Amino acid sequence: MTVNKIFFYCAFLVVTSFSFAAQSANDLDSVRIWAAPESTRVVFDLSQAPEYDSFTLTGPDRLVVDIKNASNKVKLDKLSNNSKLIKRIRVSSPPVKGTLRLVLDLTKPIKSNLFTLSPTPPYGNRLVVDLDDSFSEEARAKTTIHSSGTNRDIIIAIDAGHGGEDPGSIGPSGMYEKRVVLDISKRLADKINATPGMQAVMTRTGDYFVDLNRRSELARRSKADLLLSIHADAFTSPQPRGASVWVLSMRRADSELGRLLEQTEKHSELLGGVGDIIQNSDVEKYLVQTLIDMQKNNSMVMSNDIAKDILRDLGSVTHLHKKAPEAASLAVLKAADIPSILIETGFISNPGEEKLLINRNHQQKLANAIHKGVIRYFENNPPSGTLVAQRTNTKHKVKSGESLSLIARRYGVSVDGIKKANNLKSDTVRIGQQLIIPRA
């Protein structure tokens, strides 16, 4: 063998060794399991973007995930697992050398969805496995509320922001927004459930992420009359403080704070995963869109009115950042058929307010104030067929752009019924006029 041949052979070995090392450099650094009532998310934290394949097996039920050119650094038998869908996660013999084969032993046949997420602080490269049991008849029966008929409860959907993969904003002491808002949401739910004629449903009850589009869907499945999304604000400097209430804007937010809020929602989508794409293939799409627009306009009017009531009571227990409702284009507010409000309970980025938001007494005061504003609105504007409507004399103050027919449609009563209750001789009403709304 000549000197040149020896040199090229050695060079080949060096290049091959480096190539193999590079291909084997993807390490599985940690595994996190986020269990929700109807689903489970498993997150594999990796040192590089993964190449992977997956398939399912039966007898028993398993999901097999093969990650190419990867190695395991996690003690899988020590994982914290509170999922009802996963028995355990283990390593199995790989199909080829260098592949990491992970097996999820499942408790039942389940729908799975796998996708990768690029680095988004505080996380790096991730392979996400979503297991969804929400389409089973058992799951639907547990989450659907039958609220039709007379004397029904007013249903308030409470959405604790962020959760699971998505911590939300982080305060100066390291407190996560997702924890604070869940505490406040649970206190608010307790207040609503203790109110005769009202019932609360929560989009999440623990530390897990719920897709932004799905939050509205959960409220819709529960036949909610109102969706309240609870958050804690943050800014680029520690000075801003105070609570605020947000409603849907049909265009991008004008204020810097509103733009930051919209950017934060996009960040949540990146942390929590990709949302579902809503498609409408109805041949009558123009008629459908017209009806949706009418519902949305009515919901936006109601949202703004309820937001004012909530702000009035929040101002009695905490500083207000803004004394009037603000508007932003946020996914959680976009349900056309459900009045929806996002409540920022304070600035977690402000050291003083972070301490308040952690304080149990202050959390209860915030919950009490939100509850009081909601109660006042629905006592003055009870939905037809509810228990609250049966025990309340409904009054309505005419606003700009409202007609007698629009008001009648909103309350589910006839125009003649309103005219008779108010001794009206014509269909004409004036702005600011107080009308008694008869029971349907």
Residue-wise pLDDT tens digits, 240-256: 999 999 998 766 545 55
Determine the pLDDT at residue 255.
59
Determine the pLDDT at residue 3.
45
18-29 per-position pLDDT tens digit: 444 445 589 999
CA distances from 223 to 200, 220, 242, 275 (A): 11, 5, 32, 22
Q: What would the mean pLDDT of 49-66 be, rounded to a whole number?
A: 97
Determine the pLDDT at residue 278.
33
Answer yes or no: are the C-beta atoms of 60 and 88 closer than 8 Å: no
How far is the C-alpha of 279 from the C-alpha of 282, rounded, in Å? Answer: 9
Q: What would the mean pLDDT of 32-52 be, rounded to a whole number?
A: 94
Highest average pLDDT, of 12-26, 29-43, 332-346, 402-416, comes from 29-43
Domain 146-273+280-380 indexed as CATH 3.40.50.2300? no
- If phi over 0 gives left and psi between -120 and 50 gives alpha, with beta otherwise, what is residue 291? alpha
Determine the pLDDT at residue 67.
97
Non-local CB neighbours of 418 within 8 Å, separated by 6+ positions: 404, 407, 408, 424, 435, 436, 437, 438
Domain 23-132 indexed as CATH 1.20.1250.20? no
Element (H, E) at 139: helix 137-143
Determine the pLDDT at residue 332.
83
Give the whole-number percent of the chain exceeding pLDDT 70.
80
Superfamily of domain 393-437: LysM domain (3.10.350.10)
Given a cut of 70, whether residue 423 has pLDDT beyond it is: yes
309-324 per-position pLDDT tens digit: 999 999 999 999 999 9
112-122 per-position pLDDT tens digit: 999 999 998 88
Give the confidence band of 328 by pLDDT, cuts at 50, 70, 90: confident
Give the whole-number percent of the chain exceeding pLDDT 90.
58
Residues forming CATH 3.10.350.10 domain(s) in the chain: 393-437
Determine the pLDDT at residue 367.
98
φ/ψ (deg, to 5) at 225: -90, -15
φ/ψ (deg, to 5) at 437: -100, 115
3-class DSSP state for residue 317? coil
Determine the pLDDT at residue 330.
83
Give the confidence band of 7 by pLDDT, cuts at 50, 70, 90: very low
Least confident stretch, 98-102, 217-221, 309-313, 390-394: 390-394
Residues 179, 314, 322, 341: is their CA dihedral positive or negative?
A: positive
Answer yes or no: are the C-beta atoms of 210 and 204 closer than 8 Å: yes
Answer yes or no: are the C-beta atoms of 228 and 156 closer than 8 Å: yes
Give the confidence band of 57 by pLDDT, cuts at 50, 70, 90: very high
How far is the C-alpha of 294 from the C-alpha of 18, rounded, in Å? Answer: 63
β-bridge partners, 326: 246
Residues 376, 382, 383, 387: is their CA dihedral positive or negative?
A: positive
Give the confidence band of 351 by pLDDT, cuts at 50, 70, 90: very high
Determine the pLDDT at residue 290.
53
Mean pLDDT of the chain: 85
Non-local CB neighbours of 314 within 8 Å, separated by 6+ positions: 243, 245, 320, 343, 366, 369, 370, 373
Which is more confident, 265 or 180?
A: 180
How far is the C-alpha of 350 from the C-alpha of 145, rounded, in Å? Answer: 39
Q: What angle do CA 129, 135, 140 make, to 5 degrees?
A: 130
Cα 430 to chain centroid distance, Å, stands at 40
Highest average pLDDT, of 155-164, 204-213, 334-343, comes from 155-164
Given a cut of 80, whether residue 264 has pLDDT beyond it is: no
Given a cut of 80, whether residue 307 has pLDDT beyond it is: yes
**pTM score of the predicted model:** 0.74
357-398 per-position pLDDT tens digit: 999 999 999 999 999 999 999 988 888 888 887 776 677 889
Residues forming CATH 3.40.630.40 domain(s) in the chain: 146-273+280-380
